[in-house]
Amino acid sequence: MTSVPGAGFDPGVSGAAIRSVRADGRAALVGYLPVGFPSTPGSLAALRALTGEGDSPGVDLVEVGIPYSDPVMDGVTVQRAGTAALERGVRTRDVFAGVEAVANTGTPAVVMTYWNLVERYGVEAFARDLAGAGGAGLITPDLTPDEGQEWIEIAEVHGLDRVFLVSPSSTDERLARTVALCRGWVYATSVMGVTGARAQTSSAAPELVRRVREAVPEAIVGVGLGVSDGAQAAEVGRFADAVVVGSALVSRLIEADEAGSPDDLTGLRALVADLAEGVRSVTTGTIAGEAGLVKQ
């Protein structure tokens, strides 16, 4: 596969944050939680906890999810939390409070959402309110660049990042086109299937990252789907610019909720600390030497 002729890569706000961490010699850590679980106020506290407290390191970028009634791309963990959030009254507009809560900590926030929710809200209105809340952009797992011209144009007007997904099944042509139309970073889904923590990370991920960088050498690549602990975060951090963790974090909130202590963030904080230690255990030099994939 050849590179896209003349294609650069706009890091936007979220990609610049990842690139800054890369300059420090490690992969960035990206954490996902849905707004509204265990409650809307409780989710804001959990989102803030992701960013670290005191001397404890946190994530470098937060994905704020919007619960959806037909989450076909989500695994059972995220589905359970999202369904409970909907039953407890969360609304699409609550995502902006989540974004603002994160942005006020100084950590960039992007929204992960099914596209139907943005359309129902109004694309222009959603972009306006997201930018107003201090959000960096959107991850749109079910919107392809082929069908995303309206979003691409409106995101440009509001200075918002647009993060599209690529997968191991993406053809070379589609992969190159998708990467070229991203702003911020590229979300590389390392496995075929729904979200969920796994005992092992995907063996397809390093090859997918290589293909992305072959298509657009300047691209910033985050790898998600499957990371559940610090050891796996370190493994992915050897070849990706960012390590994305979602279901494992959500599961800590579910455990606390089921134990009758929905506001207890002890388990969440412990996992964040483990993940942060994991990405910090692998230096850029080690990554370049062992994987041969990281841009210097």
- Residues known to be catalytic: 63, 74
| Structure-block tokens of residue 76 | 């059972």
Outline where DSSP puts E strands in the chain. 28-34, 61-65, 109-112, 137-139, 161-163, 165-166, 186-189, 221-224, 242-245
CA distance 228 to 32: 12
| Structure-block tokens of residue 75 | 């695994």
Instruction: State how far the alpha carbon of 193 is from the alpha carbons of 73, 75, 103, 210, in Å.
Output: 7, 9, 31, 21
Measured at the CA of 21, the angle between CA 16 and CA 26, to 5 degrees, comes to 140
Which string of DSSP letters, residue by residue, matches 222-241?
EEESS--SHHHHHHHHTT-S
Cβ-contact 236, 223 below 8 angstroms: yes
| Structure-block tokens of residue 69 | 């009634």
Cβ-contact 194, 74 below 8 angstroms: yes
| Structure-block tokens of residue 271 | 């996992």
| Structure-block tokens of residue 239 | 């070849």
SS3 222: strand
Cβ-contact 26, 286 below 8 angstroms: no
Where does residue 97 rank: exposed (0-12), middle (13-18), buried (19+ CB within 10 A)? middle
Rg (CA), the chain: 18
SS3 133: coil
Residues 6+ apart with CB under 8 A from 129: 93, 96
